[in-house]
Amino acid sequence: MLSAPLPEAAQPRKVTVIGAGVIGLSTAHELAAAGHQVTAIADQQPQQTVSAVAAAIWFPYHSENSEAADLLLARSLARFEQLSGIAETGIDLRYGLNLEGSADEDRSWAKIVTNAAEAPAEAIPPIAAAGMHATVPVITMPTYLSWLQAQTAALGVQFIWRTVRSFDELKDDADTVVLAAGLRGGELTGDDQSVYPIRGQVIRLANTAGLSDWLCYDEHPQGVSYIIPRRDDIIVGGTDVDHDFNLEADPQTATEMLSRAIGLVPELEGCEILEHKVGLRPARETIRLERIEGHAVPVIAAYGHGGAGVTLSWGTAQRVVELLGS
């Protein structure tokens, strides 16, 4: 479980971050900004990670529900809102509708969104029970990951592209290791068998319909459905299959996803299909964000975010800085 905030580190450290997805990059950025000497080691470039497949909309999907996670959520929202004022980031604040399958869905996320409001009955399709309108960050991930990597490098972070097999490899070059390796998190610690993939398949469409509002319906009777217009395309999803490592897009699944999406947003009919993509969300019953002992070098774990890696990224990074100083 996550724990309460601690004071930020006062003394500069040599830190190695394992992973260059959105959690790894955000963490490396914040550590370097706090004055630490940071190296990021990863076996995948940012654009090859599951982060690049994300739709990505700020929303706590398939992640831990706790007071501590709520803090990560709020911190990340504040940073994304701030960054939305910089065009180069690929972040936009967009209005949309989150549909609900029952009238008692968890709406705790809405407490920190300034304009979240109950959707009127006329906005709710017959297959849903209720919904919330809100304006939240929508992130065009290819643009954002390139921007974030460049910003991180500008702070002096060094990138090394290779596979880390053991923390022993890093003991001579780091005071602390931050483990942000997604699905490989449990493998590297050697004591955590609880990490598993949630397979997500999406379709990237050309936005010839000129859509700007997003729509999500996790409880759609035929399966998860979301339509996320970004700057130059629309991401349509999706799937959430536990313990499925298949990275190949399934044509039948794609057909069903698109049919669900068109049923919710008829304007999608006829939009050109640009790409099919699959990503494996690194899930765990709870986020592992803590110091762990018993290794050749001190380790801070930062993995297990499920489908909310982007959504919780900046809060996670800030928490790692705090843990480093504890």
Residue-level pLDDT at 73: 94
Candidates 17, 56, 319; CA nearest to 179 is: 17
Cα-to-chain-centroid distance, residue 86: 20
Residue-level pLDDT at 62: 57
Residue-level pLDDT at 103: 80
Measured CA to CA, the distance from residue 273 to residue 235 in angstroms comes to 10
Residue-level pLDDT at 112: 92
CATH 3.30.9.10 assigned to domain 14-325? The reply is: yes
Residue-level pLDDT at 215: 98
Residue-level pLDDT at 63: 58
Residue-level pLDDT at 5: 43
Residue-level pLDDT at 104: 84
Instruction: Give the residue carrying structure tokens 């309108």.
Output: 133
**Rounded average pLDDT per 10-residue block, the chain, 326 residues:** 43 95 98 97 97 93 73 96 97 97 88 93 96 97 98 98 96 96 94 94 96 96 96 95 97 98 97 97 93 95 94 97 91
Residue-level pLDDT at 68: 83
Structure token digits, residue 301 = 């774990």
Candidates 43, 39, 47, 46; CA nearest to 14 is: 39
Q: What is the 3-state secondary structure (H, E, C) of the chain?
A: CCCCCCCCCCCCCEEEEECCCHHHHHHHHHHHHCCCEEEEEECCCHHHCHHHHCCCECCCCCCCCCHHHHHHHHHHHHHHHHHCCCHHHCEEEEEEEEEECCCCCCCHHHHHCCCCEECCHHHCCCCCCEEEEEEEEEECHHHHHHHHHHHHHHCCCEEEECCCCCHHHHCCCCCEEEECCHHHHHHHHCCCCCCEEEEEEEEEEECCCCCCCEEEECCCCCCCEEEEECCCEEEEECCCEECCCCCCCCHHHHHHHHHHHHHHCHHHCCCCEEEEEEEEEEECCCCEEEEECCCCCCEEEEECCHHHCCCCHHHHHHHHHHHHCC
| End-to-end CA separation in angstroms for the chain | 17
Residue-level pLDDT at 8: 46
Residue-level pLDDT at 289: 96
For the chain, what are the domain ranges? 14-325
Residue-level pLDDT at 1: 37
Residue-level pLDDT at 2: 46
In terms of DSSP bridges, do strands 288-292 and 299-303 run parallel, antiparallel, or are they unpaired?
antiparallel
Structure token digits, residue 113 = 């969104």
Residue-level pLDDT at 60: 80
Dihedral sign from CA coordinates of 57, 74, 279, 90? positive
Q: Is the peptide bond before 85 cis (omega within 30 degrees of 0)?
A: no
Q: What pTM value is reported for the model?
A: 0.94
